[in-house]
Amino acid sequence: MELREELIEQVSKARSAATRLARTSGGMRNAALLAMAAGLEEQSAFLIEENRRDLEAGKGKALAPPLLERLALHPKTIAEMARGLKEIAALPDPLGEVTRMWRRPNGIQVGRMRVPIGVIGIIYESRPNVTADSAGLCLKSGNAVVLRGGSEAIHSNRAIVRILREAAEKTGLPAEAISFIDTTDRQAIYLLLKLSSYIDLIIPRGGEGLIRTVTENSAIPVIKHDKGVCHTFVDGSADFAMAESICLNAKVQRPATCNAMETLLVDQAAAAHFLPRAIRKFQEAGVQVRGCERTRAIVPGIPAASEEDWTTEYLDLILSVRVVRDLDEAIEHITRYGSKHSDAIVTNDHAHAMKFINEVDSSAVFVNASTRLNDGFQFGLGAEIGISTSRIHARGPMGLEELTCTKFVVFGQGQLRE
């Protein structure tokens, strides 16, 4: 019970800070972001010292080298965090915009104004840069943030938050707008997820396990950033050189990301011509290719893809390949096995392009482009807090606008309800 009371005290302060923050000008919030960036740069030595404590604890717990690398803060990563905050400061203020205002027959003018969501809880793992990044995006959009990072980064996260809070306060914003759950007790997550009177939205950032824990236990709305089982379909009418470069990019440019391709679908009319060369290119790039029966008939020596392969997010240099009868079978495969994340068609047939765009129900659907482009920066949203796989509120890359909600504003001259 004591931990619960402590948490309630903390998030109720965040709630009050949110009310104050919602009334600040964009200029004030930008000044705070720049002060936060300067603070991180100036206190770089302190950050590296605190980070060393996490790294030593990590080595003691025999964390794998890639995890230690993700955890490490260097002058360069600190400079990147600071640059991230400056870039957020330079973006347009998402608040106060009334995109449209219309007049009703009785003369009232009705519009929708963009306002902050309120208090946003971010539950994340590993990389300490998420701390600065999330706090920056929430502050810019007028939201108070409650941060709960991974236990392996607690010293680094605590140090980053201390600097950010000092900077916010120095520029006249409430320090409580950036709130840090300073305990490694996992119970805190479960307790936090029940505080729906204080927190308006939870965004989990991390692996499948974390996301499942959060979704299953939250009484607060959650926007998920879940896995991507992404497809590229090479149509019979495709420009094969274009198809090859798109497929290679989607698979190998950064295979560990959610928008990397996991399954290649090829129209039977294209398979015999396209696959031998494409599969050789994949293999040259270090990709292990698994195929359906028809793929293996065209390119012998490839291991067989199992039913499980079609639903697997490899996040690795592995690719499953299937020859399909036609566009309909490709769409059917994507609908059945995909995760509605990022899917592409390569085609020169206009009707096929439009059918794919209309019928494939993914957060981003591409014609003649790499699925790797499903990203807030690539789409021009300016920044992103992740790629939502939820269908409610935000779907696909979540930028600053997706960290806001709206209210109706109505101007009348005495109108009544009849």
Which chain residues interact with its own copies by CB under 8 A? 19, 22-23, 96, 102, 104, 108, 110, 113, 115, 117-118, 196, 200-201, 215-216, 219, 221-223, 239, 242, 245-246, 249, 253-254, 335, 353, 357-359, 361-370, 372-375, 378-380, 390-393, 395-397, 405-417
Least separation in angstroms between residue 125's CB and its own copies is 22
Least separation in angstroms between residue 231's CB and its own copies is 14
Least separation in angstroms between residue 324's CB and its own copies is 18
271 versus 364: smaller Cβ distance to its own copies: 364
**Which residues, 6+ apart, have CB-to-CB distance to 116 below 8 Å?**
18, 21, 22, 95, 141, 142, 143, 403, 404, 405
Q: Which two tokens stand for residue 310?
A: 């079609």
State the Cα–Cα distance between residues 197 and 406, nearest whole angstrom: 19
* Nearest of 259, 290, 271, 289 to residue 233 by alpha carbon: 271
85 versus 115: smaller Cβ distance to its own copies: 115
Running DSSP on this structure, what letter comes out for residue 349? -
CB atoms within 10 A of CB 371: 28
45 versus 409: smaller Cβ distance to its own copies: 409
Give CA separation, 300 vs 185, 240, 279, 294, 323, in Å.
53, 21, 11, 10, 14
293 versus 316: smaller Cβ distance to its own copies: 316
Least separation in angstroms between residue 336's CB and its own copies is 10
Asked if 327 and 355 touch (Cβ cutoff 8 Å), the reply is: yes
65 versus 100: smaller Cβ distance to its own copies: 100
State the Cα–Cα distance between residues 346 and 376, nearest whole angstrom: 22
41 versus 375: smaller Cβ distance to its own copies: 375
75 versus 172: smaller Cβ distance to its own copies: 172
76 versus 100: smaller Cβ distance to its own copies: 100
CB atoms within 10 A of CB 125: 18
Least separation in angstroms between residue 165's CB and its own copies is 24
* Nearest of 144, 338, 350, 328 to residue 227 by alpha carbon: 338
Least separation in angstroms between residue 280's CB and its own copies is 19
**Which residues, 6+ apart, have CB-to-CB distance to 358 below 8 Å?**
none
Least separation in angstroms between residue 93's CB and its own copies is 13
Least separation in angstroms between residue 229's CB and its own copies is 15
**Strands 396-398 and 342-346, how do they pair?**
unpaired
Task: Kindly list the strands in the beta sheet with 144-148, ordered across the sheet, starting from the edge strand earlier in the chain.
Answer: 178-180, 144-148, 119-124, 201-205
216 versus 308: smaller Cβ distance to its own copies: 216
Query: Alpha-carbon Rg of the chain, whole angstroms?
Result: 24
Least separation in angstroms between residue 92's CB and its own copies is 14
Q: Which two tokens stand for residue 251?
A: 């698979």
